[in-house]
Amino acid sequence: MTNFRCRPATETDRRFIQWMDELTETFGDETQPLGDDYRDTRRAYVDMWDEKQGGVIIEATELSDDDYAALEGDVKRNDPFEPGFNRSEAFRAGAYAGARTGASANEEGESGAEGLNILRRAVPVGAAWLRCFDAKEPGYGFVDNAIPEVAIAIRPAMVGRRLSQVLVRALLEHARELGYPGVSLAVDDRNPRAAKAYVKAGFDRVGRSTFPDHDVMVYRF
C-alpha cells in the first residue's frame, strides 16, 4: 500500500514547485492554457521563493502497482520556460529508486544528468510553499508584511486522495515553527471546493479582491 510523508521543501525542489505552480494556475488541469501573464506569476511565486521562507513537500513511498503506473505518466506539459528540461522523465515514478521499497527519507542516490537527484527515495506528489510579499509588491492573498501567502498543489495522479488536507496541516505546523503569526491564501471563485476545504481547516475569510475574483483567507496562530 502506498505510504505518504511530508518533509521541508529545499532548493532542490524548485523545479517540482514550478510544476505545482502551473497546476495552481489551471486548477490542476494541464490541458488548459496558462494565462498570458503567467510569466509574472511564476516570477512572483516561484522565482522569488527560497527555502528560508518555508515550504513542505509530500512524498509517496512503497507505491502500489496502480499508483506506480499512475505516477509514471501524469506529467502532460513540460516547463514552458525551460524547454530543455524533461519534466516527464524527471518526475515519473521510475526515476525514484525507493518508490517501491520505502527507503529511509535520508537516503539519496546519485545525481542525474538533468541536475536533479533522480534517484531520491520517494516520489514528490504535492507541494505547499510560503511566499513573503510586501505592500509594494503584494501577492493575490496579501494581508500584511508579517504573514506569508500559501500556494499549494497536488500532482494530477494523486488528486482525490485527501492529500491536500495532510499537506495543509503539515504546512501550518511548519509555518508555526518558523515563527510566522499566521498564513494567508487566495481562493479563486472558480474553485469553491478549495474554499470549503480551507474553511474546514480553520482559515477565515478576511477580504475580497479582483483580477481574478477571489477571497482572501487567513489562518492565525
Tell me if residue 52 falls in helix, strand or coil: coil
Average pLDDT, the chain: 89
Reported as half-sphere exposure (CB side, CA atoms, 13 A), residue 37 has a value of: 5
Give dist(CA 64, CA 43) in Å, integer. 36
Q: Measured between alpha carbons, how far is residue 111 from residues 50, 71, 80, 114, 126 in Å?
A: 21, 21, 24, 8, 21
Domains in the chain: boundaries: 3-179
pLDDT at 210: 79
pLDDT: which is higher, 106 or 21? 21
Q: How confident is the model at residue 105 (pLDDT cuts 50, 70, 90)?
A: very low
Fold entry, domain 3-179: Aminopeptidase (3.40.630)
Beta bridge partners of 153: 127
Give dist(CA 216, CA 149) in Å, integer. 10
pLDDT tens string 160-181 = 999 999 999 999 999 999 999 9
- Percentage, residues of the chain above pLDDT 90: 78
Is-contact 17 49, C-beta < 8 A? yes
Beta bridge partners of 218: 184, 204
Residue 194: which residues within 8 A CB-CB, separation 6 or more? 187, 188
pLDDT at 205: 94
DSSP string over 1-28: --EEEEEE--GGGHHHHHHHHHHHHTTT
Q: Give CA torsion, residues 83, 89, 92, 97, to 10 deg.
A: -140
